[in-house]
Chains A and B, each alone.
Chain A
Amino acid sequence: MKWIGLIAVVLTGALLLSAVGDFPDFGDPKSPANGGVGDFSVSQYYITHTEQDTKVPNVVTAVLADYRGYDTMFETTVIFIAGIGIIAILRSHPPGGRRGPAHPIDATVDGDHQRIIIGITCRIMIPIIQIFALYVVAHGHHSPGGGFQGGVMLGASFILIGLSRDLQAALARFSERRFIVLACLGVAIYAGFGLLCLLLERNFLDYGVLDGFFHTDPVMARSHGIFAVEVGVAFTVTAIMFAIYANLSSKGRLDEGL
C-alpha cells in the first residue's frame, strides 16, 4: 500500500510539474487569467466598474455579494448543511433524560484558583472581540472583511466563553435552540433579499431595484443590499461555528465540554 501510494503521488506530481513550464510567469499582469493583452476580461470588468455600479471600494466584497451572489448564497447553504449534518451525526441526549443548564446564568468564575486569571482575562477580552467582529462585518465595504470573517470571529468569541469557563456558561448565552434558529435565519435573510428582488420584477439578487426599500438611488441600493446579505452570512457562520464546537467538544451531549 505504501509503495502504491508513493508511486501514485510521484506520478501525479511529475505530470503537474511537466505542465508548470507552460504556465504564464508569476506576477505577469498580462497573463490570460488577469485579462490577457488585448481583450477585456471579466476580472478587469469587476475592477473598472465596481465604483460606478455599486459604490463599494472593496472589489472583493462587491464581487462576493453582488456580481457572484448566487455562488455565495449556496456556499452559505453548504455551511448550514454541514452544521446540521454534524448535529445529526453527533447529537445525543444523556441517558437520564434532558436536563437544564447545571449552573444559573450568573454563575461567577469557578471557585478553583487556577482558572481565575484565565476567567478574568477572557471576561475583559470577549466584549472587545465581539465589538471588533461587528466592525469587521459592517466595515467590509471599505476594508478587508465581511460576513465570513466577522461571523467566524463572533463564533470564536462564544467558543472562548466555552473554553475559559465551561460549555454550560456558553450555552446559557447561546443555547441550542438559538443557534439553530440563527443559522436558519441567516440563510433566510440571504434568500429573502433575493426573493424580494424577484417579487419587484427584476432578476434574483439584483439589489438595484430595492431603492424604494432603502430610500436611496439604485447604485446605493446595491451597496445596502450587499450589506444586508453579508449580515445574513455572518448570522449563519456564527451559529454554525459555535454549533460545531459545542457538539465536538462534548461528544454531542452538550453537557461538559473540554
Chain B
Amino acid sequence: MIVAFDIIILIFLVITAVISLRVRDLLGATMVLSIYSFLMCLLWAEMGAVDVAFTEAAVGAGVSTVFLIATIYHTRRHSSD
C-alpha cells in the first residue's frame, strides 16, 4: 500500500468517470470507461487484491467494452446528453 500512488489513481478515477459521462459520442464514452476500469485494476493490484485486479483487467477493461461496442454498433452512436 503506497499512499501517494493511491491518491493519484483515485483522482484520475474521478476524472475519467466524469469524462465518460460527459462525452456525447458513446464510442468515446466506452473507451474512457475502459480506461476507468483499467485504473481501477491498477488500484486493486496496489491494494493487494491481485485476484480481483486480474478479473477486472480481463472483464471490465476487455470483455465489457466489447459488449458495449457491439450494442452501440447496432444502435445509435450519438447520445443527446
Contacts and interface: CB of A to CB of B under 8 A. Distances in A.
Complex A–B touching at CB under 8 A: yes
Interface of A: 27, 58, 60-61, 144-146, 148-149, 152-153, 155-156, 159, 163, 241, 244-245, 248-249, 251, 258
B76 interface: no
27 contacts: A58-B51, A60-B51, A144-B50, A144-B51, A144-B53, A144-B54, A145-B51, A146-B51, A148-B55, A149-B51, A152-B55, A152-B63, A153-B58, A156-B58, A159-B63, A159-B66, A163-B66, A241-B63, A245-B63, A245-B67, A245-B70, A248-B70, A248-B71, A248-B74, A249-B74, A251-B74, A258-B70
Contacts of A145: 51, 54
Contacts of B69: 258
A149 B1 contact: no
Q: 8 tightest CB-CB pairs across the interface, nearest first?
A: A144-B50, A249-B70, A248-B70, A152-B58, A60-B51, A144-B51, A144-B54, A149-B54
A249 B54 CA distance: 25
Nearest to B62: A156
A251 B69 CA distance: 13
Interface of B: 1, 50-51, 53-55, 58-59, 62-63, 66-67, 69-71, 73-74
Given A144-B50, A258-B73, 11 more contacts: A144-B53, A146-B51, A148-B55, A149-B51, A149-B54, A149-B55, A152-B55, A152-B59, A156-B62, A245-B70, A251-B74
Contacts of A148: 55
A149 B58 contact: yes
A229 B63 CA distance: 23
A144 B50 CA distance: 6
A146 B1 CA distance: 24
A241 B70 CA distance: 13
Contacts of A159: 63, 66
Nearest to A152: B58
Contacts of A153: 58
A137 to B, nearest CB: 12
A248 B67 contact: yes
A4 to B, nearest CB: 16
A258 B53 CA distance: 29
Contacts of B71: 248
A249 to B, nearest CB: 4
Nearest to A140: B51
Nearest to B58: A152
Contacts of B1: 27
A244 B73 CA distance: 15
A65 to B, nearest CB: 12
Contacts of A245: 63, 66-67, 70
Given A60-B51, A146-B51, A149-B55, A155 B63 contact: yes
Given A149-B58, A152-B59, A244-B67, A249 B73 contact: yes
Contacts of B70: 245, 248-249, 258
